[in-house]
Structure 1
Amino acid sequence: MDSAWRVEGYTEVRELGAGAQGRVVLARHDASGTPVAIKYLAARAGEADRERLRHEALMLGRAGSPHVARLFRLVEGPETAAVVMEAIDGVSLKELLERHGALGPEASLSVLKGSLLGLAAAHAVGVVHRDYKPANVVVPADGRSRLVDFGIATPAGQEAGGAGTPYYMAPEQWSRHVATPASDVYAATCVFVECVTGRRPYTGGRADLMRAHLTGEIPVDAVPEALRPLVRRGMAKEPQDRPGGAAVFVDDLERTARETYGPDWESRGVHALSAGAVALAALFPLAAWLMPGAAGAATAAGAGAGAGAGVSAAGTASAAGKVAGASAIKAFLGTGAGMTAAAVGAAAVVGAGAIAVQQVTKQDPAPRPTATARVAATVADVRPCVTQVPGAVITPSEGPAKVTLPAQVKLPKNATVYRSGQGLLIGPAGAQCEGSVGANAGSSTVGDFGTAQVSQNWQGSIGGIRSQLCEYFPDSAQARRERAQGNECTSILGTWEPLETGVPGVEAVLTRGPGTDDLPPSPAVKAEVAVLTPQGVAWPITCIAPAANADICKSALTYWFIQRLGDVKPAKADLDRAAERIAGFVDATRI
């Protein structure tokens, strides 16, 4: 790598890995603090190497999906080039399998579904991945797997060639026939078998693998009987005997999973994946860099630069780098929105800012904005919060000055949007917004009792996460499991009401909180919304205000609720009903 050239506008944090083709680094965007992964070609790379990188950027840029690592931009420098990509803080599926062995049916089905949805996004724009394997799947702390590395992807209909990873290559790849989405379906099914059984479908040398993939029996004996038809279809020797594409296979998968494991199979599967990933939180590149003590023991998961790590910050075999406590956190966040992370034991909670980036490819030279934040109808100004960490105070930069609010959020004239480490908060305009990050928890608060006070608290330790779960969701399946395991799990909340989310596996409640002693002079309102993810993490937000400013609470709680639903949004009618319920509940708390 030519040390004289770096992509402008980014500060390198540390190297994630290096190989003959180049290296991958973790960096931050100077203007916002957002972490990214940058893949640099080796110094004086030949034109063929540069063309391959352009091709990878083009393929990755086409597959826009929350299940695929995002491409931000392709940058050509003197005698080399680089791609700037989303930094996914997680652990590779390869590492999970090596550390934990078989994942179990529900977790394996969840991995397969997420991967198929990522492949379906690629197939929808005519791209065949051609190298689906565990090293190219990353599992973050939320358990939602992400597909990475489109280095040898190709347009559908071209000759498949012999490129790929032999353990997972479809028969037509061995015989150099035309590449189709069915080739990716085959590879994904091979990985599914490995997840369920803890063993690859076929083993041996290259000649043995070729023979097995071309003519061997489909290995279903170790797979649960109800799932064997999925494996037989997905690993059929002839492409025309497999599902026509990943989207079709997802329908088969969901139907089989519901019939076999019940309607909540996915929430259990994602929860298991999350637990497995969080148990390896020390390997998360961003978390390892930010968490004191983690860096010394961490080794990033996956293959070398240009393999799974090519698009993921979780991918290469490299030490995690030095951590210098608060000064390291401050150095990483700089003056940007940045990232906060905390870990205790086997739990990690990570929240990130967002940045509008440009996507550039050879065939599409004009920059196109690609927002990584969730956007949606009234445009509002955004102000930063000041975040305190032990020994340091971090003030985010201006960042994006505007945000487009969901249609359900009615922003009062005396309110604005603030950017905290865990998301965007609506609070009174002109108020002070402060945040704090400790060893195992954090909070953000904007405003005061005179106008409105909006506060959000999150937990990073196992005990803290359990405490919030039990406090707000004592009747949830996760809370029942805690009690079944002998853990104390009770709530002191007086009353709470369920709030329909429209998202399977995600619960929400409305409550006044544990008391009313902290209210401003009457008449006043106090309301809380808490959202429970399938991983058992509760995200509460509280708003207290004079009754005259109740609209601030309505907009603050509604906006936080919508953000916490994640990338999968319910129907507009569901969101409209939730917004009405929140507004009605706030009015009902008036004292």
Structure 2
Amino acid sequence: MKRPAVSETDMLGPYRVLRTLGEGGMGTVYLAHDVTLERDVAIKVLRVSNGRVHAGLAKRFLREAKTVAKLTHPNVVTIFTIGTTGEGESARPYIVMQYIEGGSLADQLHRHGPLGWRDSVRVIMDALRGLGAAHAAKIIHRDVKPANLMRGPDGLVKLVDFGLARWAEGGEQDLTVAGAFVGSPSYASPEQIAANRTVDQRSDLYSLAATWYALLTRQPPFVAEDTQDVMRMHLLEVFPDVRALAPEVPEALVKVLRKASVKRVEDRYQSAAEMLADVEGLLQERSVERPVKRPLPAPRLVHAEKSVVALEGQLAEARSSHDVDAQLTALRSLYGLYAQLERRDEANRAFREAIKLHALRNDPRSGIRRAS
């Protein structure tokens, strides 16, 4: 039987572990009591594999603590300290942070159902303030979703779990693999799914829009049995009308949601502050400008068409030489151009071929070796 990283009643320094709060992608979160300061805290302990800590995960885990420690904001969870349990190769780092008694918005959706639209607006306002602070510090969260928004008994919402965060415009080294998807597929932005290295603050705003949709309807905007279908819909399809499941939502809110979830980042809200201004206006009954879908300017259209021709030639060459990495690179670029040019069938084909090639490349039985 798999042994838990920490047993209940264990002591981690001055912290007595009380119970498990939840499992995350990188570790387990426990409720603990600080016997020195006599307060409850949350402790996130890195998971282990075969009794050992993965060095890359440990580095990213500690980076998360440093990331959040840089932020002092009422809408971002507070980090108190870091520590290590155990010794040698089995030593597990942990992060001690503020305990938020109310639980996550995902928990609240599960227990109580969708929020009323006014309540959802207050949640999104708090989330935008937290994201604004993170973005000002050049930190992109990359995993905004209901489970990463915590709401205390006072109603204040705090942003948590910066395990996938990266620094914008250089800064700290990103610890995720180049060209790899990171995030939660149900809430990921199109540029995340396309493994675009220029993911910026506007990606977090798209994910927040998907989160907002879930707060209002109790489900993300796109639902399918196959995760790849969900990802394809984020790439190609607009959000379904939220009023089909939440008819009381006002038109002004629908407009904000629509603008935040536009596929082209240039047509989306450009900052948390810009989106916050419109969200605040919803409670004050101010009008919100309807986003306008703008076609590509003629020079960019011509350039995109020429790029498609060149990339299709590169793809043909890569196929003939059986160069899987070159095929994947060409297919990813072609997908983005096809989507820009609204050539949906070709975009779908490129997406599905890339998914199959990626799976084949990662299958040790295929005999395909990654490029060094």
TM-score after normalising by structure 1? 0.42
CA deviation string 1:399-429 (max 9, x = no partner) = xxxxxxxxxxxxxxxxxxxxxxxxxxxxxxx
1:235 pairs, out of 254, 257, 261, with 261
Q: Report the Cα offset of residue 224 of structure 1.
A: 2.6
Aligned to 1:71: 79
In 1, distance between residues paired with 2:132 and 2:179?
Answer: 18
Aligned to 2:68: 60
Aligned to 2:219: 199
Superposition map of 1:18-29 within 5 A: 21-29=26-34
Q: Report the Cα offset of residue 13 of structure 1.
A: 2.5
| SS at structure 2 position matched to 1:91 | coil
Q: Does 1:189 align with 2:209?
A: yes
In 2, distance between residues paired with 1:221 and 1:146?
Answer: 25
Q: Report the Cα offset of residue 10 of structure 1.
A: 2.0
Would you say the 8 A contact 1:126–1:156 is kept in 2?
A: yes
Q: Does 1:256 align with 2:282?
A: yes
Q: Report the Cα offset of residue 190 of structure 1.
A: 1.0
Would you say the 8 A contact 1:160–1:172 is kept in 2?
A: no
Superposition map of 1:327-366 within 5 A: none
Percent identity (aligned)? 34
Alignment CA distance shift 1:111-1:20 (3 Å): closer
In 2, distance between residues paired with 1:147 and 1:19?
Answer: 15
Would you say the 8 A contact 1:220–1:231 is kept in 2?
A: no
Q: Does 1:50 align with 2:69?
A: no
Structure with a larger share of its residues in helix: 2
CA deviation string 1:484-508 (max 9, x = no partner) = xxxxxxxxxxxxxxxxxxxxxxxxx
Q: Does 1:174 align with 2:193?
A: yes
Q: Which runs of 4+ in 1 moved over 6 A?
A: 2-5
AA at the equivalent of 1:138: M
In 2, distance between residues paired with 1:163 and 1:55?
Answer: 16
Q: Report the Cα offset of residue 20 of structure 1.
A: 8.2
Superposition map of 1:7-18 within 5 A: 7-17=12-22
Superposition map of 1:208-223 within 5 A: 208-220=229-241, 222=243, 223=249
Matched length: 261
Q: Report the Cα offset of residue 76 of structure 1.
A: 3.5
Q: Does 1:132 align with 2:144?
A: yes
Aligned to 1:225: 251
Q: Does 1:115 align with 2:141?
A: no
CA deviation string 1:162-206 (max 9, x = no partner) = 111111100000111122010110011111122223332111122
Would you say the 8 A contact 1:160–1:179 is kept in 2?
A: no
2:271 pairs, out of 235, 245, 248, with 245
- Gaps (5+ residues) in structure 1? 262-591
Rg larger in 1 or in 2? 1
| SS at structure 1 position matched to 2:221 | coil
Would you say the 8 A contact 2:217–2:242 is kept in 1?
A: no
Superposition map of 1:267-346 within 5 A: none
Would you say the 8 A contact 2:239–2:258 is kept in 1?
A: yes
In 2, distance between residues paired with 1:142 and 1:134?
Answer: 18
In 2, distance between residues paired with 1:240 and 1:213?
Answer: 16
Q: Report the Cα offset of residue 21 of structure 1.
A: 4.7
More relative contact order, 1 or 2 (CA 8 Å, 6+ apart): 1
Structure with a larger share of its residues in strand: 1
- Gaps (5+ residues) in structure 2? 244-248, 288-372
Alignment CA distance shift 1:196-1:23 (3 Å): closer
Alignment CA distance shift 1:25-1:91 (3 Å): closer
Alignment CA distance shift 1:241-1:221 (3 Å): same
Aligned to 1:165: 184
TM-score after normalising by structure 2? 0.65
Alignment CA distance shift 1:36-1:239 (3 Å): same
Aligned to 1:39: 44
